[in-house]
Amino acid sequence: MLYGALEAGGTKMVTAIINEKGEVLDRASFPTETPETTMPVLIDWFKERKPDALGIGTFGPADPDEASPTYGYITSTPKLAWKDYNILGAFREALNIPIGFDTDVNAAALGEASFGCMKGLSDGIYITIGTGVGVGVLTNGKLLHGMLHPEAGHILLATNPKDSFEGCCPYHKNCFEGLAAGPAIEKRWGKKAVELKDVPEVWELEAEYIAKALVNYILILSPKKIVLGGGVMHQLQLFPLIRKKTAELLNGYINTKEIHDIDNYIVPASLNDNQGILGCAKLAENAIR
Amino acid sequence: MLYGALEAGGTKMVTAIINEKGEVLDRASFPTETPETTMPVLIDWFKERKPDALGIGTFGPADPDEASPTYGYITSTPKLAWKDYNILGAFREALNIPIGFDTDVNAAALGEASFGCMKGLSDGIYITIGTGVGVGVLTNGKLLHGMLHPEAGHILLATNPKDSFEGCCPYHKNCFEGLAAGPAIEKRWGKKAVELKDVPEVWELEAEYIAKALVNYILILSPKKIVLGGGVMHQLQLFPLIRKKTAELLNGYINTKEIHDIDNYIVPASLNDNQGILGCAKLAENAIR
């Protein structure tokens, strides 16, 4: 079997062909322009490679509810060219193969659960912190959708009293994404995150906001593993700071073997930034079943 | 079939006998003292009534993981007489019938999902706000345990800048329970909640904290329904305030039919405070299967 994988992002579309072992046999990347210009390129790429099934992990909001009339649509995205766009339908019509569909972060969570550090776990979360913050959630062995799908990058946090930055989410002044995604770091400190590597207070504050979010994820979802990926998390100096601050904030309230072994509980993505496309391959496999 | 139900609370133990239709045929209540004095009374009560199975929904933290060596224990509770107590084992030995086990709030969520206003929904939450705050969670049609079980009453919230009350949770200064459970209301305002019914600022602030928590539950769990029970929620004037504030804080970010119909999304418990024991009866039924 050959699985097609499409990680549909707001800036780029990553395509891949992956075999049953999770080996990436081919991959490419295309800028995300409009459905009219971008979709034919993607469709041709997959048509030439003839996968047996396709898995799509998309930016959102999207509709992953199979029972919904807008299943497979990118819905109320601020990227207006893609608003209410039936991306699943377009691929179905062009390729005529089974297609799985979910959010980009749910796909990444599935990638880690199928091939990476969440393998064998029934419950875990994958968080990406980059230009935005997204969270994919696995509960009871299944990806979580519920009413829509988690939008846990937008949870409200208590702002550090010394932080005068107002947050840069257009919806919520003090949400996680608005306080801690890449653009927030750049606006608060006046430089890009990568240029601030040696400024400790940047990462102390960043770790504090990430830890405040993790504490709420832990208390609400009770995950068995927390995987952090995305551009900001390439700053690996964050990990020890996040772990320390998370333990401090929980303050001994949750007594589990996982929390006591926090170095193996809060971890970096384990699949060299292939967690998304590998998860898409798994969505493709599931679509065949 | 006759199902035995035990809602094991920190102050009282509620027992019931319930039939397959969810009708409560018999019920009683006993003070929660120590296992030595309380357990024989409960065991005798059930022995006399001969249920075919028993369901236990307990205060916690508890261990609801069937694969764990401490499955069925009340674990690190501050009620020391019950700390690390194998309540499931004690009933198993005495009654020799199938027994289901979960947290009190998961049982209540199951009660609402089986007989009440969450019937037919795959994803929803039940929140009790009383002497403490607890949250039971249904995702993908199953009760959520994960690493332990949700402890979502302890999520950290942004304190209202005009609220000088420090919170009364011994673990976290600004957690939901510490800011908004019954004891917090009483300590902040110097009177019991029921005596403050006509003081609008009490309920404005209470609704703000509840709404801040709901926003995070919505963004993380994406529930299809939110059911609020417990002593504090008997103040029904809270509901319109909570709905308004929740919508304000979400600020249009989540566009779903459920959020647009918020009066039917955030609702009071629907089973006359029987949601707990009815959920326990369902745990009993599931234990037979």
Pairwise CA distance, residues B16 & B100, whole Å: 15
Q: B288 to each of B100, B281, B284, how far by Cα in Å?
A: 9, 11, 7
Task: Looking at the complex, report in whole angstroms how far the Cα of residue A182 sits from the nearest Cα belonging to chain B.
Answer: 20
Taking the Cβ of residue A69 and every Cβ of chain B, the question of whether any pair is shorter than 8 Å is answered with no
Taking the Cβ of residue B152 and every Cβ of chain A, the question of whether any pair is shorter than 8 Å is answered with yes
Pairwise CA distance, residues B256 & B120, whole Å: 18
Judged by CB atoms closer than 8 Å, whether chains meet at A171 and B253 is answered as yes
ipTM of the complex in this document: 0.97
Judged by CB atoms closer than 8 Å, whether chains meet at B155 and A216 is answered as yes
Taking the Cβ of residue A142 and every Cβ of chain B, the question of whether any pair is shorter than 8 Å is answered with yes
Task: Looking at the complex, report in whole angstroms how far the Cα of residue B110 sits from the nearest Cα belonging to chain A.
Answer: 15
Judged by CB atoms closer than 8 Å, whether chains meet at B249 and A156 is answered as yes
Interface of A with B in 164-203 (CB under 8 A): 171-172, 174
Q: pLDDT digit string (tens) for B22-40?
A: 999 999 999 999 999 999 9
Bridge partners (DSSP) of residue A99 are A54
Give yes or no for a contact between A266 and A243, defined as CB atoms under 8 angstroms apart.
yes
Give the per-residue pLDDT at B275. 97
Length of chain A in terms of residues written: 289
Closest CA to B207 of B168, B272, B157, B255: B157
Bridge partners (DSSP) of residue B133 are B129
Residue A171 CA to chain centroid, in angstroms? 20
Task: Looking at the complex, report in whole angstroms how far the Cα of residue B9 sits from the nearest Cα belonging to chain A.
Answer: 19
Give yes or no for a contact between B235 and B203, defined as CB atoms under 8 angstroms apart.
yes
Q: Which is it for strands A53-58 and A133-139: parallel, antiparallel or unpaired?
A: unpaired
Q: A68 to each of A60, A106, A147, how far by Cα in Å?
A: 16, 18, 11
Taking the Cβ of residue A86 and every Cβ of chain B, the question of whether any pair is shorter than 8 Å is answered with no
Give yes or no for a contact between B148 and A222, defined as CB atoms under 8 angstroms apart.
yes
Mutate to test the interface with A, among B222, B255, B261 (most CBs of A within 10 A): B222
| Arithmetic mean of pLDDT, B57-67 | 95
Helices B182-189 and B200-221, axial angle in degrees (round to 10): 150
Judged by CB atoms closer than 8 Å, whether chains meet at A216 and B219 is answered as no
Beta strands in chain A (DSSP E): 2-8, 12-19, 24-31, 53-58, 99-103, 124-129, 133-139, 142-143, 226-229, 266-268
HSE-CB at B269 with a 13 A cutoff on CA atoms is 28
- The arrangement of strands across the sheet holding A133-139 comes to A142-143, A133-139, A124-129, A226-229, A266-268
Q: In terms of pTM, does the model score above 0.95?
A: yes
Q: Residue A154: its chain B contacts at CB < 8 A?
A: 219, 253
Residue B10: partners with Cβ closer than 8 Å, 6 or more residues away: B32, B59, B77, B79, B131
Give yes or no for a contact between B227 and B276, defined as CB atoms under 8 angstroms apart.
no
The residue of chain A nearest to residue B215, with distances taken between CA atoms, is A155
Judged by CB atoms closer than 8 Å, whether chains meet at A253 and B142 is answered as no
Chains A & B: contacts with CB separation below 8 Å? 144
Judged by CB atoms closer than 8 Å, whether chains meet at A172 and B258 is answered as no
Per-residue pLDDT of chain A (289 residues; tens, 9 = 90+): 999 999 999 999 999 999 999 999 999 999 999 999 999 999 999 999 999 999 999 998 999 999 999 999 999 888 899 999 999 999 999 999 999 999 999 999 999 999 999 999 999 999 999 999 999 999 999 999 999 999 999 999 999 999 999 999 999 989 999 999 999 999 999 999 999 999 999 999 999 999 999 999 999 999 999 999 999 999 999 999 999 999 999 999 999 999 999 999 999 999 999 999 999 999 999 999 8
